Amino acid sequence: MSTEPSTNFEVPYDVIPLPSKGLLYPNKKETIEVRYLVGEDENILTSPNLLQSGKFIDVLLEKKIRSKELNPADLLVGDRNAILIWLRATGYGEMYPVTVIDPETGQEVETEIDLTTLKQKPLGANPDENGFFDFELPMSKKKIKFRLLTARDEDEINKRVEAQSKKKNSVADTVTFKLGTQVMSVDGNSDKEWIHNFVRVMPARDSLALRKYIADIEPGMDLNVTVEVPGGEPIESFLVIGPDFFWPDYGV
């Protein structure tokens, strides 16, 4: 742990390893300096306006990430999750309350998971000089170059889905828009409008294979958790990092 001056006090920070090892960032740094949560950060975590707008994570990371050479919005989604989990564990304790459904009884079970037991998932393939990855579609044999999503990309996709959900009888194009954002070229064609149209009519088998490969190589935190249930079999669940991740009870 290190400290730095802030007004008349020392703000502690630590060096956090990134799941991606920085391979897709200009500075190529494997770690990032992050300040610990302090009392005034709860103004961000409990701000109704920030929570409603969904910007509280962006505002929080702008303040907590000490390294200014990397914009928090340009973090890979998995790297951002690693930082958020570290902030939550060091700020409010490593035990995180979760509610799961017991498949045998259908009843809700309240328990806790230890955030420090979550494992990092490293980058599963080597990028080219542009930070892109190669994949050949199994059915059409098209050669794809794609990139991994950043926090900024994910936020834009979520905004689009939310806007579409408000339209009557509309079907959100989450899968195809997300793939269209990630795919950078198809057999050398890098026109984005053409790529988005191609993704819409891509054979389902190709779409599934590409999405599975992206999920396999994407770095981040393994959010699959096994929850122990008193007197019953362990339950497999998935940790969701949402608005209540830092402070599950905002009424406190």
Structure confidence by residue, pLDDT tens digits, 5-53 = 445 567 799 999 999 999 999 989 999 999 999 988 888 887 877 766 6
**pLDDT tens digit sequence for 133-161:** 999 999 999 999 999 999 999 988 888 88
Cα separation of the two ends of the chain: 29
The average pLDDT across 186-190 equals 98
**Least confident span in 42-46, 86-90, 120-124:** 42-46
Distance set, CA 193 to CA 56, 79, 143, 158 (Å): 32, 29, 18, 20
Contact 108, 99 (CB under 8 A): yes
Say which DSSP state 229 is in.
-
Q: pLDDT category, 251, cuts 50, 70, 90?
A: very low
pLDDT at 252: 39
**Least confident span in 40-54, 63-77, 141-155, 207-221:** 40-54
The average pLDDT across 49-70 equals 83
CA 138 to chain centroid: 28
b/e map 207-224, b = 16+ CB within 10 Å? bebbeebbeebbbbbebe
User: Residues of the chain with pLDDT > 90: what percent?
Assistant: 57
Q: pLDDT category, 70, cuts 50, 70, 90?
A: confident
b/e map 56-76, b = 16+ CB within 10 Å? bbbbbbeebbeeeebebeebb
pLDDT of 98 above 80:
yes
pLDDT at 173: 84
Q: pLDDT category, 57, cuts 50, 70, 90?
A: confident
Say which DSSP state 20 is in.
T
| Tokens found for residue 95 | 């035990």
Taking residue 234's Cβ as centre, other Cβ atoms within 10 Å add up to 10
Contacts 24+ apart (CB under 8 A), 50-58: 51/243, 51/250, 54/155, 54/158, 54/243, 56/243, 57/84, 57/151, 58/151, 58/155
Alpha helices in the chain (DSSP H): 42-45, 48-53, 56-64, 77-92, 151-165, 174-182, 192-200, 204-217
Scanning the structure block, which residue is given the tokens 């190589």?
217
CA angle, 34 then 38 then 40, to 5°: 120
Q: How far apart are CA 219 and CA 150, in angstroms?
A: 12
Give this prediction's pTM: 0.86
pLDDT at 248: 56
**Least confident span in 24-28, 53-57, 160-164, 185-189:** 53-57
Contact 125, 217 (CB under 8 A): yes
